[in-house]
Amino acid sequence: MSIGNAYYDAKLASVYDQMYPIEFDTAQAVDFISELAPPQGRVLELGVGNGRIALPLAARGFQVHGIDGSEAMLAELGARDPQGCVTTMLGDFTEVGTGVTFDVATLVLNTFFVAITKDQQLECLRLVREQLSPGGKFTLEAFDPAPYHGLERPDLSMRHLDEGAIMLDTLSVDRCQQLMLGTHTIIDGGPPQTKQHLLRYAFPFEIDLLAELSGLRLMDRWEDWTKHPYTSSSLRHVSVYEPTPAAAR
């Protein structure tokens, strides 16, 4: 099973930055990842999207590669990167790797959860391990599922995209399978357009266990990219993993 359910089509790709207006968070994430990589080091971003993280990293002199399953998102990245500073690959990062190794690999903004089965998530982490150089690091940003795990009825919300467009979001949760079904409906004056995607959320301790099975171990966990301590009230986490000694040999 591929992660095609989560691929952004052309319409969603065109409004992605309006869906997630988090420029401040981008700068913090780029600073964090830059600290883990040596100067001019090699960085891999899984789910590279339109280059929100990858392009600033490339501007700092890193050799950046990105994998994404959405042709539309990679087209957006290409338009922003006419000189080809970021090397991109179209593919499902739970099934294929680049065949080369990196100093840092990263998965940001809950992208790990687009792998909608435990086996997909495990295979994703195994591929990450295969693509890490000796001493390499893997960073993963994800929300803490606890507030959503108890959701008993669909949650409705609205996002403002621009002066002429809004997005209506509906979120439903299947606690038995740890699945979240999100429905996005864009209303912009034309016929409403709806896109659904499925996520399989995992609790931090569950991700740690999958990582251990994949030859990775947790080094640090923070609440955010600015390294605020992770506590029981944290709504997300930024976790850093490294290869276990046995896996590194």
Confidence (pLDDT) at 160: 84
Looking at the fold, whether 93 and 18 belong to one and the same domain comes out as yes
Q: What is the pLDDT of residues 33-65, one digit of tens each?
A: 999 999 999 999 999 999 999 999 999 999 999
Q: How many other CB atoms sit within 10 Å of the CB of residue 24?
A: 10
- Is the domain of 125 the same as that of 218? yes
pLDDT of residue 249: 45
139 and 169 assigned to the same domain: no
Residues 181, 229, single domain; the answer is: no
Q: What are the beta bridge partners of residue 104? A: 43, 137
Model pLDDT, residue 52: 93
pLDDT confidence band for 2 (50 / 70 / 90)? very low
Using the Cα atoms of residue 222, residue 97, residue 80 and residue 70 in order, give the sign of their dihedral: negative
In this structure, are 193 and 217 located in the same domain?
A: no
Q: CB count, 10 Å around CB of 38?
A: 11
pLDDT of residue 100: 96
- pLDDT of res. 193: 79
Is the same domain home to 135 and 234? yes
Task: Give the pLDDT of residue 172.
Answer: 93
**What CATH number does residue 163 fall under?**
2.20.25.570
Residues 86 and 160 in one domain: no
Are 166 and 131 found together in one domain?
Answer: no
Distance CA 74, CA 244 (A): 33
Same domain, 40 and 156: no
> Stretch 84-107: mean pLDDT, rounded?
96
Supply the CATH number for residue 13's domain: 3.40.50.150
Domain ranges, residue 138: 4-146+202-248
Examine the pLDDT at 1 and tell me if it is beyond 50. no
pLDDT at 195: 84
Cα 99 to its chain centre, rounded Å, is: 20
DSSP letters for 31-83: HHHHHHSPTT-EEEEET-TTSTTHHHHHHTT-EEEEEES-HHHHHHHHHH-TT
Sheet containing 179-187: give its strands across.
155-162, 165-174, 179-187, 193-200
pLDDT at 201: 96
| Predicted model pTM | 0.88
- Residue indicated by tokens 């795990």: 149
If asked whether residues 155 and 181 sit together in one domain, one would say yes
- Same domain? For 141 and 113 the reply is yes
Judgement on whether residues 13 and 108 belong to the same structural domain of the protein: yes
User: Percentage of the chain surpassing pLDDT 70?
Assistant: 89
pLDDT in tens, 102-158: 999 999 989 999 999 999 999 999 999 999 999 999 999 999 999 889 888 888 888
The total number of structural domains in the chain stands at: 2
Taking the C-alpha atoms of residue 61 and residue 81, their distance in angstroms, rounded to an integer, is 14
